[in-house]
Chain A
Amino acid sequence: MFAYYFQLGLRSLRRNPVLTLLMVMAIGFGVAASMITYSVFRAVSGNPIPDKSAQLFIPQIDGWGPQQNLKGEPAEAVSYIDAMALLRAHEAKRKTMLYQVLMSVMPGGDRELPIAVNGYAVGSDFFAMFEVPFRYGGRWSEQDDAARAADVVISGELNQKVFGGANSVGRTIDLGGHDYRVVGVTSHWNPRPRFYDLFSTDGFADEPDIYLPFTRAMDLKMYPSGRNSCRGQLSFTNWTDYTQSNCVWITPWVELDTPAEVASYRSFLTNYAIDQQHAGRFNWAPNVRLRDVVQWLDHEHVVPPESRISLVVALGFFLICLVNTIGLLLAKFMRRAGEIGVRRALGATRREIYAQYLIEAATVGLVGGVLGLLLTALGVSGVGMLFPPQIAQLAELDVSLVGLTLVVAIVATVLAAFYPAWRAAHVQPAWQLKSS
């Protein structure tokens, strides 16, 4: 029966080509607009570390006070003094401080010019906490952290540029005039949004090239290459003054596995702030936060407003297309009231009429979906015209998007057909037979 109704549907579609074309175009454009914007939205709003996002927390401590903080919220990073306090504490199983550094690989071998490298000063826990994959070697040890060792983990890309892609573990690399020992080479690793550094990036930056020990960076007095935010009067002229200032530039992360650990860490933060208040460093009540990855992404508004607005507009557009389809299907079905009357009089049940017309609608949905798919493919490849490149390149047409496009088109069209099919099923046979 299904195949027969499907054939009837195709035949009926051929009968009013203009009306059919209108419906197919409406569904196609509507579903394509939604899918293109959804593919971008999906890319920017995804959870970059789903299996651990509930165990990774970013502590925030208000070192600016109610007059100068961010409308009641603590700063989005911590100062050197607070970072050191968090680093000394042993409240969390794993922890890392991190900030952006800019260095250069000095000329050597057949390279005449230095190469700029972006990266992070991090703790040895960083790699395990954020599940950084290694191609060669691995992280440096906690002893290396304590010893302020000149170790470095480099990206596969940098390894390709400098060492030709060979296993470079144990080899030396000259960064800005200092020799570093390569302890690990990462496989491609660039979670997006870059949840671990939303202070210096908007979440969509190129893959970092290097990671070096935070303690080493402190030793070398490496100023941050990323953001730096201060309050009040600034008078620092050297590293010591700068590190004692209220400027925030370090992002702390801790890993806490159980609710009890979270509660205990939270009270540790509060107690730390109380101690600072008693010591006279903070002239205000404790104001601390402990957000996990998802809460942090939300708090930092990682999803660009453009993406959210365009998704909503596209969904509205799809809704209009569906309303349009309901109207056109109604017109199409009711035009055949006479035919329905005859079928009913010959013994077809309402259920059969329903089935026939819903299948006909599904046919429209399928064709619309295929058109939508073509337009989506076109749109996803042209999305670079509409969104900044670092975001546009995240949009991709994968199997799930293809499936979703077709399913959405068919389901939506069938849903839209319910009312017109109901009207068709309720055609009074007697009426139709009388007047024709």
Chain B
Amino acid sequence: MSIQIRPILTALRRHKAGTVLITLQIALTLAIVCNALFIIHARLASLSEVSGVDESSVFVIKNQWATEWPTAQVDAQVQADLLALRQLPAVRDASPANGYPLQGGGWDNFVTLTPEQTQPTTDSAVYTGDEHFIGTLGVKLVAGRNFRPDDVMVMGTQQAVTPPTVIVSKALADRLFPGGNALGKSFYAMGATPSTIIGIVDPLHRHGVSQWNKAYAGQSLIWPIRSADSRGLYYIVRAKPGQLAAAMREAPKALYAQSRLRIIDAKDGIQNYATIRHKVYDSDRGMAILMGIICVVLLAITAAGIVGLTSFWVGQRRKQIGVRRALGAKQRDILAYFLTENFLISTAGVTLGIVLAFAFNLWTVTRFALDRMSLAYVGVGVIVLLLLGQGAVLAPALRASRVSPVEATRSV
């Protein structure tokens, strides 16, 4: 069976408007669908970013002090609080902190290799905590050692403290010392004195998940600091397996028993990691859902449009189809005719669509610093649309193929 393309093209020339409309529709659909797929994929990928935290049993308490105490008094209260938390039956460990992974934004410092450097080597999220910090989060120590109690320094309100020891994430270690021998090396993180790497953890996510963090993904450092900031601090708490809910109930009671001059917000003062993760990726998840809905509805509407217009064409050409059938064309010839016709239009559409797709992507790249779309998405989009076109045209084409040769003799 040979398919004659020339007669199809000649016929299309008589239906310029319809042809142009379907081409345009397919082109626009492709442009939007593959960009949407790209956005969905990127957003879903960030939804499942690894934090390094034992998320099933860790929760965070945001503790604000009600009144301004001197540093020594704040520190005494923090130590008493930690002791109380660690003694709770449902609690495995607890640590003071200035923030936590996936918080949504927080403290970060420039990092340099020498003190006189004005241009930073890179940027790192900064966590502060005591010798329980790593164990509480459940972060894996892959080299070196944890902090010892005598490493831990106390930091008062808005004080710039630079401890001589530091634990870094593997991503930061590799970025600073690509040779892989970061242990024992030193760097500067906006301090006058260096910090020496005593341990490496992997992985440990930054506080933030926003676009500008991407360049520094996974780069974080932990300083052995117990915060005695008069404004407040975070307590990170790890529950014993299966006792998260109980620990979250006990913890604030234990803290209020220590002192009532504190504020733990009723709404978001205590959050487990399910909530934290859900919140921080709100807009990513929203975008993915929105794009998903748009994709599905768009494809449905485009398919419906093809069905509608092809049905109209079939209706218009019943007589010609009858003539062809009377002259010996088989049913499958008619079927092939409409499938080929659609394939030609779709091909023109996707060709134009590829250009539009990249144009749209370029706009998002220049305007919002999003990533460039890989060819794979366009490839998937093209295949989806070609199949969609063939699928949509099938029903009208089958109807056309069943046109009886007798039609040729009617109403002439």
Docked CA distance A235–B189 (Å): 12
Q: Is the CB of B35 within 8 A of A29?
A: no
> Which of B2-10, B64-72, B129-137, B163-171 contacts the other chain?
B64-72
Q: When the two chains form the complex, which single residue of B65, B157, B311, B368 contacts A309, counting CB atoms closer than 8 Å? A: B368
Query: Which A1-51 residues have C-beta < 8 A from chain B?
Result: 19, 22, 25-26, 29-30, 33, 37
A68 to B120, CA, bound (A): 9
B261 within 8 A of A: yes
Of the 9-residue stretches A272-280, A292-300, A312-320, A349-357, which lies at the interface with chain B?
A312-320
Binds A, one of B49-57, B295-303, B329-337: B295-303
A87 at the interface (CB under 8 A from B): no
A223:B158 contact, CB within 8 angstroms: yes
Closest Cβ–Cβ distance, residue B239 to chain A (whole Å): 25
Interface string of A177-200 (1 = CB under 8 A from B): 100000000000000000000000
**Bound complex: CA A62 to CA B335 (Å):** 72
List of B residues within 8 angstroms of A29 by Cβ: 297, 301
A162 within 8 A of partner (CB): no
Minimum CB–CB distance for B301 against chain A, Å: 5
Contact B304–A324 (Cβ < 8 Å)? yes
- Interface residues of chain B: helix, strand, loop or mixed (majority): helix
Residue in contact with B18 in the complex, picked from A106, A238, A320, A327, CB distance below 8 Å: A327
A102-B231, A104-B67, A313-B294 given as contacts; is B159 within 8 A of A67 (CB)? no
Stretch at the interface among B86-94, B200-208, B284-292: B284-292
Of the candidate stretches B21-29, B75-83, B375-383, the one touching chain A is B21-29
Give bound CA distance, A324 to B367, whole Å.
29
Cβ of A334: which chain B residues have Cβ within 8 Å of it?
312, 316
User: CA A106 – CA B263 in complex, angstroms?
Assistant: 10
We find that the number of chain A residues with CB closer than 8 angstroms to chain B is 68
Which of B118, B305, B367 lies in contact with A68, CB distance below 8 A?
Answer: B118
Q: Which A residues from 66 to 99 make CB contacts under 8 A with B?
A: 67-68
Give the nearest-CB partner of B119 in chain A.
A67
Please name the residue on chain B nearest to A242 by beta carbon. B158
Give the one of A231, A233, A310, A321 with max B CB within 10 A.
A233
Q: Contacts of A387 on B, CB cut-off 8 Å?
A: 282-283, 286
**A237 part of interface (Cβ distance < 8 Å):** yes
- Judged by a CB distance under 8 angstroms, whether A397 is at the interface is no
Measured in the bound complex, the distance between the Cα atoms of B50 and A436 in whole Å is 71
Cross-chain contact of B305 among A234, A306, A324, A436 (Cβ < 8 A) = A324
Chain A residues near B282: list those with CB within 8 A: 387-389
Partner of A234, one of B66, B191, B287, B291: B191
A309 partner residues in chain B, CB cutoff 8 A = 39, 287, 364, 368
- Whether B301 contacts A25 by the Cβ 8 Å rule is yes
> Does A115 belong to the interface (CB within 8 Å)?
yes
Complex interface bits, A222-236 against B, C-beta within 8 A gives 1, otherwise 0: 010100101111111
Q: Let me know if A135 is at the binding interface, CB within 8 A.
A: no
How many Å from the CB of A24 to the closest CB on chain B? 11
The reply to whether A330 and B18 form a contact with Cβ atoms under 8 Å apart is yes
| Residue contact A320 to B159, C-beta cutoff 8 Å | no
B11 at the interface (CB under 8 A from A): no
CB distance from A209 to the nearest CB of B (A): 12
Given contacts A29-B301, A116-B263, A305-B368, contact A331 B160 (CB under 8 A): no
Q: Note all chain B residues with C-beta closer than 8 A to A331.
A: 18, 308-309, 311-312
Q: Which residue, of A22, A26, A317, A319, has the highest number of chain B Cβ atoms within 10 A?
A: A317
A330 touches B21 (CB 8 A): yes
Q: A33-B294, A225-B231, A386-B289 are in contact. Are A114 and B36 (CB under 8 A)?
A: no
Q: Which residues of chain B from 89 to 146 have a CB within 8 Å of any chain A CB?
A: 110, 115, 118-119
B260 at the interface (CB under 8 A from A): yes
A41 to chain B, nearest CB (A): 13
List, in ascending order, chain A residues with CB within 8 A of B247's CB.
none
Let me know if B301 and A314 touch, CB within 8 A: no
Q: Within 8 Å CB of A116, what residues of B?
A: 64, 263, 265
Choose from A305, A327, A389 the contact partner of B25 (Cβ within 8 Å).
Answer: A327
Assess the B283–A388 pair: CB atoms within 8 A: yes
A161 within 8 A of B: no
- Within the complex, what minimum Cβ distance (angstroms) separates A408 from chain B? 17
A-B contacts at CB below 8 angstroms, number:
173
B28 to chain A: which residues have CB within 8 Å? 316, 319-320, 323
**Which of A19, A67, A114, A237 is close to B261, meaning CB atoms less than 8 Å apart?**
A114
Chain A residues with CB under 8 A of B158: 223, 228, 236, 239, 242
Which residues of chain B from 171 to 204 have any CB-CB distance to chain A below 8 Å in the complex?
188, 190-192
* Cβ 8 A contact of B64, one of A102, A327, A386: A102
B31 on interface, CB distance cutoff 8 Å? yes
Q: Which B residues touch A323, using CB under 8 A?
A: 21, 24-25, 28, 305
Given contacts A104-B64, A223-B157, A324-B305, contact A317 B283 (CB under 8 A): no
Q: In whole angstroms, how far apart are the Cα atoms of A423 and B360 in the complex?
A: 33
Known: A317-B298, A334-B312. A385 touches B289 (CB 8 A): yes
Q: Does chain B have a CB within 8 A of A282?
A: no
Partner pick for A324 among B263, B289, B302, B360, CB 8 A cutoff: B302
B286 touches A385 (CB 8 A): yes
Which residues of the partner chain A approach B261 to less than 8 Å between Cβ atoms? 114
User: Residue of A at shortest CB range from B115?
Assistant: A233
Say yes or no for B315: interface residue by CB 8 A criterion: yes
With a CB–CB cut-off of 8 A, which chain B residues contact A310? 287, 290-291
**Interface assignment of B215: CB less than 8 Å from any CB of chain A:** no
CB neighbours (8 Å) of A239 from chain B are: 158
User: Whole-angstrom distance from the CB of B332 to the nearest CB of chain A?
Assistant: 26
Task: Tell yes or no: A399 within 8 A of B by CB.
Answer: no
A385 to B68 Cα, complex, angstroms: 40
Residue contact B368 to A235, C-beta cutoff 8 Å: no
Q: Enumerate chain A residues within 8 angstroms of B411, measured Cβ to Cβ.
A: 435-436
User: Separation in Å of the A6 CB from the closest CB of chain B?
Assistant: 23
Closest beta carbon of chain B to A418's beta carbon, Å: 12
Within 8 Å of chain A (Cβ to Cβ): is B233?
Answer: no
Q: Is residue A281 contacting chain B, with contact meaning CB distance below 8 A?
A: no
As a 0/1 sequence over residues 410 to 436 of chain A, the CB contacts with chain B under 8 angstroms (1 = contact) are: 000000000100010000000000011
Distance between A62 CB and nearest chain B CB, rounded to angstroms: 15
A234 near B190: Cβ-Cβ < 8 Å:
yes
For B67, list chain A residues within 8 Å (CB): 104, 106, 114, 176-177
| CB pair A176 B283 closer than 8 Å | no
Of B294, B315, B360, the most chain A CB neighbours within 10 A belong to: B294
Taking a contact as CB atoms under 8 Å apart, the answer to whether A306 and B115 are in contact is no
A328-B308, A334-B316 known; 18 other A-B pairs, CB under 8 Å? A25-B304, A102-B231, A106-B66, A114-B67, A225-B231, A233-B115, A234-B190, A237-B156, A237-B159, A313-B291, A316-B32, A320-B302, A327-B18, A327-B305, A331-B308, A331-B312, A385-B286, A385-B289
Q: Which 4 residue pairs spanning A and B have beta carbons closest together?
A: A331-B312, A386-B286, A234-B160, A114-B66
Q: List 13 A-B contacts (CB under 8 A).
A: A19-B308, A113-B260, A176-B66, A233-B190, A309-B364, A310-B291, A316-B31, A316-B360, A321-B301, A323-B24, A326-B21, A389-B282, A436-B411
A residues contacting B by CB (< 8 A) are: 19, 22, 25-26, 29-30, 33, 37, 67-68, 102, 104, 106-107, 112-116, 176-177, 223, 225, 228, 230-239, 242, 304-306, 308-310, 312-314, 316-317, 319-321, 323-324, 326-328, 330-332, 334-335, 385-389, 419, 423, 435-436
